[in-house]
């Protein structure tokens, strides 16, 4: 996809002589030359010397079209229509082909296509030399506005096109709603605990969560994933599959809150700190890290669009740049207002937030390699699907936007050679979204975030005898957190044990996190006996600290050991242990050997 316009002469050179004559007659009534180059010279001279005069001959909508194309990479006909509600006059089309203009309007000399055989194909642009002239007197177009909903949407009107009968059918479908601001913060803490317990892994090759990890994460998510697991109705039915459960480990790994070791994610020191930090601060950290993630391309989650890692790989644009464009658009949207996904895409186009997924879309295909190739005309399809993945799988999972959606199999299918698919992607069901307070904070729209006051369900009772009693079966995430320092002794009963606590602390868990978990889930201060246990362990744990590996050296007699331990050169690198043993840190072993030789001793290897 060539995003450089080219000069007027170069773009005209792609036209056939018959079309050039029609364009030239719009400018002059004089007899035209017969040679192609001479006709082009006439057009170029007229358009560059009298640009303002011909601009004044355009009607209002045509002038708007030129202004939109002038300050954008190309003229977006869908974006223009979504902004102004109608298309500009390009002239009279042929009665036998809508792709050819029988009698072109003057607009065709301001906005041209570079296609040699069909002026309706390819991207229409303002020639570079005309841009320089036009920008002197053509102002930037008025900013586009995003249409918002006055009420929370409850019904989606889905248009399904039958590619065989060429008829549309409108169906009303109730929407699922996910208000994510609070649940995402709970999910974040649950997944961190799951990683802390060593139950989340990534494949070494793809660095994506394993099937076992997906199931484990789904079990701890508040209310489950966006599309809950269910049995297929038949062997041909395709289910949407995981969204949140796929995103969480990638977000945490990308932000270096966990690192991959032998196939399992292990919390880093930053990850362990996050267990005791305000979740909204961690959410912002995850989001900012994801924006800079150059290794993961969300578009690959749309597996029905093939060729992304093959022939089309070189044409795929930077996901970092794509995310930047979408974030800029989100920052221009109202907060706490519902708006349609299609309306958001139209707003992005109309407002000039240009998003290009591939510079070589013809190397991508759907279904069959020979018949399902995409083209420049499918850039909107690629843009919408990429935007869906980012918003639904990552922005909504993090709790920055609330979403309303339908089953993807019920959504509109907007590409004819995908008609044999139940849906093009699991994200096709995204219908509406709303930027919430957490989203405003993470997107930089607000400087601070105050967590909403929510009623916390107190499900635990901590007893003075160190028993922890659950009033009802605990979610998997809470059980995992509790079992880091307590042993299950009966149904819904756990016993806090010092040995269990110490094992957890040895593995890098936080005593403060254990204490705050019990207070949070019980809604009470800890009983005196339990608080004393926590204080006692908190006092003892810092008293020992591992300083690294050392060598224990056996000396033949106490007198020699004493001599070496007090020698000015040797004593710098060792410590006396008992009567006739020396301890030498691993890092000091070479220096210790050198010092020994100076006083007449050696340490045999």
pLDDT above 70: percentage of residues in the chain = 91
Res 164: pLDDT: 66
Residue 298 covered by a domain? yes
* Spatial distance between the Cα atoms of 482 and 194, rounded to a whole number of angstroms: 11
| 195 and 102 both lie in a single domain | no
Q: State whether 416 and 397 are in the same domain.
A: yes
Nearest Cα to Cα of residue 400 among 263, 254, 288: 288
User: What span, in angstroms and rounded, lies between the C-alpha atoms of 68 and 352?
Assistant: 9
Instruction: Please tell me whether residues 396 and 296 are part of one structural domain.
Output: yes
The residue out of 395, 411, 442 marking a domain boundary is 442
The more confidently predicted of residues 349 and 5 is: 349
CB contact at 8 A, 130 and 110: yes
Same domain, 367 and 245: yes
174 and 113 within one domain: no
Which structural domain range is residue 509 located in? Answer: 460-543
Residues 190 and 331 in one domain: yes
Task: Supply the DSSP symbol for 391.
Answer: I
- 453 belongs to a structural domain: no
* pLDDT tens readout for residues 483-501: 888 988 888 899 999 988 8
pLDDT digits (tens, 9 = 90+) for 122-174: 678 999 999 999 999 999 998 888 989 999 999 998 876 665 666 777 889 99
State whether 346 and 257 are in the same domain: yes
Tally of domains within the chain: 4
Provide mean pLDDT across the span 337-343: 94
Residues 390 and 526 in one domain: no
DSSP 390: I
In a shared domain, residues 300 and 407: yes
The Cα 459–Cα 482 span in angstroms is 12
Task: Identify the residue whose tokens are 């900013």.
Answer: 143
User: Mind giving me the DSSP string for 324-340?
Assistant: HHHHHHHHTSPBS-EEE
In a domain, 190, yes or no: yes
347/332 Cα distance (integer angstroms): 10
SS3 293: coil
Query: Is 454 within a domain?
Result: no
Task: Confirm whether 523 is domain-assigned.
Answer: yes
pLDDT 10s digits, 386-418: 999 999 999 999 999 999 999 998 887 766 666
Condensed to tens digits (0 to 9), the pLDDT of residues 527-542 reads 999 999 999 988 888 8
Give the pLDDT of residue 118. 40
- Contact assessment for residue 160 and residue 416, using Cβ atoms and an 8 Å cutoff: no
Q: Is residue 143 part of a domain?
A: no
> Is 604 part of a structural domain of the chain?
no
Q: Name the DSSP class of 468.
A: E
Instruction: Compute CA distances 32 → 23, 42, 112, whole Å.
Output: 11, 8, 21
Q: Name the 3-class secondary structure at 227.
A: coil
pLDDT at position 196, please? 87
Judge whether 180 and 159 are in contact, CB under 8 Å. no
Whole-number average pLDDT of the chain = 88
pLDDT category at 96 given cuts 50, 70, 90 is very low
Higher-confidence residue: 477 or 148? 148
Within-domain flag for 152 = no
Angle, CA of 510, 516 and 518, to the nearest 5°: 110
46: which 2 tokens? 């007229």
- pLDDT exceeds 70 at position 233: no
Please check whether residues 232 and 350 belong to one and the same domain: yes
Q: Which of 555, 251, 184 is nearest to 398 (CA)?
A: 184
- The pLDDT of residue 547: 82
At residue 548, φ and ψ (nearest 5 deg) are 115, 180
Q: What is the pTM of this model?
A: 0.71
Based on the fold, state whether residues 385 and 482 are members of the same structural domain: no
Do 198 and 267 reside in the same domain of the chain? Answer: yes
């Amino acid at each position: 996809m060539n995003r450089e316009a080219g000069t007027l002469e170069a773009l005209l050179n792609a036209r056939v002589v018959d079309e050039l004559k029609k364009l030239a007659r719009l400018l002059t009534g004089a007899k035209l030359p017969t040679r192609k180059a001479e006709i082009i010279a006439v057009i170029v001279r007229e358009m560059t010397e009298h640009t303002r005069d011909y601009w004044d001959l355009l009607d209002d909508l045509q002038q708007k079209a030129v202004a939109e194309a002038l300050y954008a990479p190309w003229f977006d006909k869908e974006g223009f229509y979504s902004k102004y509600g109608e298309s500009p006059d390009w002239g009279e089309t042929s009665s036998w082909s809508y792709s050819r203009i029988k009698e072109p309007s003057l607009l065709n000399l301001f906005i041209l296509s570079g296609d040699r055989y069909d002026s309706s194909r390819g991207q229409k642009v303002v020639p570079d030399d005309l841009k320089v002239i036009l920008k002197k007197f053509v102002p930037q177009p008025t900013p586009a506005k995003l249409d918002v909903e006055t009420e929370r949407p409850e019904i989606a009107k889905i248009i399904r096109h039958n590619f065989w009968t060429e008829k549309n059918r409108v169906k009303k479908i109730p929407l699922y709603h996910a208000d994510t601001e609070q649940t995402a913060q709970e999910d974040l803490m649950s997944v961190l605990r799951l990683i802390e317990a060593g139950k989340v892994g990534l494949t070494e090759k793809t660095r994506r969560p394993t099937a076992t990890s997906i199931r484990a994460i789904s079990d701890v998510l508040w209310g489950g994933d966006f599309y809950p697991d269910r049995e297929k109705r038949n062997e041909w039915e395709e289910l949407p599959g995981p969204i949140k459960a796929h995103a969480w480990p990638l977000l945490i790994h990308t932000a270096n809150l966990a690192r991959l070791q032998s196939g399992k994610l292990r919390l880093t020191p930053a990850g362990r700190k996050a267990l005791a930090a305000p979740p909204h601060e961690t959410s912002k950290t995850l989001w900012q890290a994801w924006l800079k993630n150059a290794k993961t391309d969300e578009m690959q989650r749309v597996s029905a669009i093939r060729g992304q890692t093959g022939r089309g790989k070189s044409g795929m644009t930077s996901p970092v740049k794509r995310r930047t464009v979408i974030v800029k658009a989100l920052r221009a949207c109202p907060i706490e207002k519902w708006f349609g996904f299609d309306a958001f895409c139209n707003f992005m186009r109309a407002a000039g937030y240009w998003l290009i997924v591939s510079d070589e879309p013809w190397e991508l295909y759907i279904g069959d390699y020979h018949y399902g190739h995409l083209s420049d005309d499918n850039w909107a399809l690629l843009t919408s699907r990429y935007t869906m993945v980012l918003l639904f799988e990552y922005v909504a999972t993090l709790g920055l936007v609330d979403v309303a959606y339908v089953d993807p199999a019920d959504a509109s299918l907007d590409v004819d050679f995908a008609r044999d698919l139940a849906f093009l992607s699991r994200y096709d069901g995204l219908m509406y979204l709303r930027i919430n307070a957490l989203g405003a904070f993470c997107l930089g729209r607000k400087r601070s975030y105050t967590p909403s006051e929510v009623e916390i369900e107190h499900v635990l009772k901590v007893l003075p005898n160190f028993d922890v009693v659950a009033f009802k079966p605990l979610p998997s995430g809470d059980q995992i957190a509790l079992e880091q320092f307590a042993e299950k002794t009966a149904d819904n009963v756990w016993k806090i044990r010092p040995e269990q606590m110490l094992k957890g602390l040895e593995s890098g868990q936080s005593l403060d996190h254990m204490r705050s978990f019990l207070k949070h889930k019980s809604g009470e201060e800890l009983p005196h006996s339990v608080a004393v246990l926590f204080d006692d362990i908190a006092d003892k744990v810092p008293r020992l600290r591992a300083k690294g590996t050392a060598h224990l050296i056996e000396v033949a007699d106490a007198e020699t050991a004493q001599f070496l331990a007090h020698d000015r050169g040797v004593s710098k690198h060792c410590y006396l242990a008992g009567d006739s043993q020396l301890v030498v840190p691993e890092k000091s072993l070479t220096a210790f050997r050198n010092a020994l030789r100076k006083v007449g001793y050696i340490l045999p290897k």
